[in-house]
Amino acid sequence: MKSAANYLCPLCQQALTFADKSYRCVNNHSFDQAKQGYVNLLPVQFKHSKAPGDNKEMVLARRAFLDNGFYQPLVDKMLSLYLHYGKTAEPLLDAGCGEGFYSHQHKNSTNQVYGVDIAKETIKIAAKRYQDCHFSVGTLSKLSVSDNYFSWVTSVYAPILEEEFTRVLKEKGYLLTVTPAQHHLYELKELIYQKAHEHDVNKTPVKQLTLIVEERLSYPMVFDCNKDVLNLLAMTPFAFKASDEVICQLKSRKQFTCQADFILRLYQKQ
Ligand SMILES: C[S@@+](CC[C@H](N)C(=O)[O-])C[C@H]1O[C@@H](n2cnc3c(N)ncnc32)[C@H](O)[C@@H]1O
Ligand SMILES: [Zn+2]
């Protein structure tokens, strides 16, 4: 059985102790563990909208797509960096973890893997499937964990909050970010926009940590089943821009090839 997680109270920053399916601090603030195993550490006053983050449809589309292995080369690359540079028995955070796919991939028999996301529906889905990881609803701008706690933080297509990530990283700990490179999903964007823009790869919000590795990973994804392309479309931020005509076109195609293009950046806290 997995041990209790080490969280801080989001209201008073004191340590939370786990007993009777509830996390409680010395000031008696308490946070129940949900039946799926996650804990909601996002007090209402920290929420800027009623249901922040991706919606359930986007999350289920992402899960179906990821389950079919289209991003396996990305997982392999992330894990090879983790095995090479990381202390794989120490706690790891997947920041903006979505439905937990990458969190779970990093779990081994000795480490504790934490996944945090602001979207409750997403965390429910993550916790239900991946019971060996610690999932919580929370905001990346104020993580409910002590300073210098994690030796590895991953951020896959999620907001990068450098100051907070640096705070929770141990000395010499690593932050691995995955962001889109120029041609990511270019063929799909070309169908939707009259003029598809390439991603701006120079946007890196990380200034205080030291860049150790920067690698580009590009490969074509060949879809024989239009369900996969529709799932891919549904998990993108431009899905709502796709006209009915484009969706019909995608449904009728026998095959569709689209480029996956990622930039992985590994930073270290000095
Ligand atoms: C594009 S998704 C990526 C999810 C996952 N990393 C993956 O690649 O499958 C971005 C995620 O960041 C989460 N997110 C956005 N802003 C956040 C914040 N301020 N705090 C926590 N999570 C946030 C969203 O809810 C969403 O699940
Ligand atoms: Zn408290």
CA 25 to centroid of ligand 2, rounded, Å:
5
Taking the CA of residue 178 as reference, the ligand 1 atom at the shortest distance is 8
Q: How confident is the model at residue 240 (pLDDT cuts 50, 70, 90)?
A: confident
Given 3.30.2010.30, 3.40.50.720, 3.30.160.160, 3.40.50.150, which CATH number is that of 17-268?
3.40.50.150
**pLDDT greater than 90 at residue 122:** yes
C-alpha span between 91 and 107 (Å, rounded): 10
**Angle between helices 56-67 and 120-129 in degrees, nearest 10:** 40
CA 159 to centroid of ligand 1, rounded, Å:
7
C-alpha span between 236 and 227 (Å, rounded): 15
Average pLDDT, the chain: 93
Q: Give whole-number Cα distances, 6 to 117, 135, 143, 156, in Å.
A: 17, 12, 12, 23
CA 253 to centroid of ligand 1, rounded, Å:
31
What is residue 117's predicted lDDT score, i.e. its pLDDT?
96
Q: Which of residues 58 and 159 earns the better pLDDT score? A: 159
Q: Which of 190-199, 225-234, 250-259 has the lowest mean pLDDT?
A: 190-199
Q: Which of residues 44 and 228 earns the better pLDDT score? A: 228
**pLDDT greater than 90 at residue 50:** no
**pLDDT greater than 70 at residue 172:** yes
CA 204 to centroid of ligand 2, rounded, Å:
34
**pLDDT greater than 90 at residue 78:** yes
Please state the domain extents for the chain: 17-268
Please give the model's pTM, rounded to 2 decimal places: 0.94
Q: Does ligand 1 come within 6 angstroms of the Cβ of 262?
A: no
Q: Does ligand 1 come within 6 angstroms of the Cβ of 158?
A: yes
What is residue 1's predicted lDDT score, i.e. its pLDDT?
59
pLDDT, tens only, 173-200 = 999 999 999 999 999 999 888 777 777 7
| DSSP 8-state class, residue 198 | P
Q: Does ligand 1 come within 6 angstroms of the Cβ of 46?
A: no
Q: How confident is the model at residue 125 (pLDDT cuts 50, 70, 90)?
A: very high
**pLDDT greater than 70 at residue 52:** no
Phi, psi of 208 (to 5 degrees): -85, -25
**pLDDT greater than 90 at residue 77:** yes
